[in-house]
Amino acid sequence: MLTIDQVAAFDRDGFVLVEGMFSQEEADVLLKAVEEASRVDAYTFEARDVDGNVSKLSLWTDIGEDAFGAVSASPRIVNSMQILLRENVYHWHSKVILKEATKGGAWEWHQDYGYWYHDGCPYPRMASAMLALDEATRENGCLKVMVGSHLLGRLEHGREGTQQGAELQRLAALEDKLPIYYVEAKPGSVLFFHCNLLHASEPNLSDRPRIAYICCYNAFSNIPVIGKGHGKPVPITLSSDDAVLQFAE
């Protein structure tokens, strides 16, 4: 359960890092699932940064009945998300981020709502939970966030490489006003972040990969008014608290 101080940090900064929300054993189960799961392979595509370097992303909109689904429906994640957004949520999508050692590309500065807006959601009542599956450091291209940038509102986005990126002129001005925080995290730590928080990551130049699992949620008051959106707006059936470990061999 989140503390009052953690909720206040999310409101003020646009994010909060909760260390040890999942155990090392649970993170290991998910890492093995990334290596073996055909689900990850089936939905993987590549995104190139402005220098042409590649990061891999695997994304799906259903929760599913596997170790990944156990996280997306985990009471630790879902209940925390409902506390932060102050209302009931449904699953928008989940994704695995794979940054390969020595060659994993950057993710350009962007807001998730920068493009989720075009999926028809009228309000920025959305947030994500990023679970570190291996250690995230500056050397292997951990996420970096612009503290408090969720309060700016939605910025215009365009193409940066094959990614969506926020407008460069405004970003340059904001970097002088808002501090940047590198989210270095141990396996099992979870970063909750607002859909308008500006975030990015640098290339992975280390000899270790960086892998993370991100679950995204939308408020029921924010069901898309146009278009199809992503996940189905239905209540989430919570998994048991030990559900991830049930997939351990």
Domains, the chain: 4-220 (2.60.120.620)
pLDDT digits (tens, 9 = 90+) for 12-52: 999 999 999 999 999 999 999 998 876 787 777 666 666 66
Coil, strand or helix: which one is 53?
Answer: coil
What's the whole-number average pLDDT of the chain? Answer: 91
Contacts of 176 (CB under 8 A, 6+ apart): none
Is the pTM above the cut of 0.85?
yes
Q: Which candidate, 92, 76, 174, places its Cα nearest to that of 125? A: 92
| Tokens, residue 35 | 């290596």
Does 180 have pLDDT greater than 70? yes
| Tokens, residue 203 | 């290339």
pLDDT digits (tens, 9 = 90+) for 68-127: 999 999 999 999 999 999 999 999 999 998 888 877 677 789 999 998 999 999 999 999
Residue 109 · residue 57 · CB < 8 Å: no
Confidence label for 157 from pLDDT (cuts 50, 70 and 90): confident
Give phi and psi for 159, each to the nearest 5: -80, 130
Selected residue with higher pLDDT from 181 and 57: 181
Residue 136 · residue 190 · CB < 8 Å: no
pLDDT digits (tens, 9 = 90+) for 41-57: 777 766 666 666 767 78
| Tokens, residue 159 | 């193409």
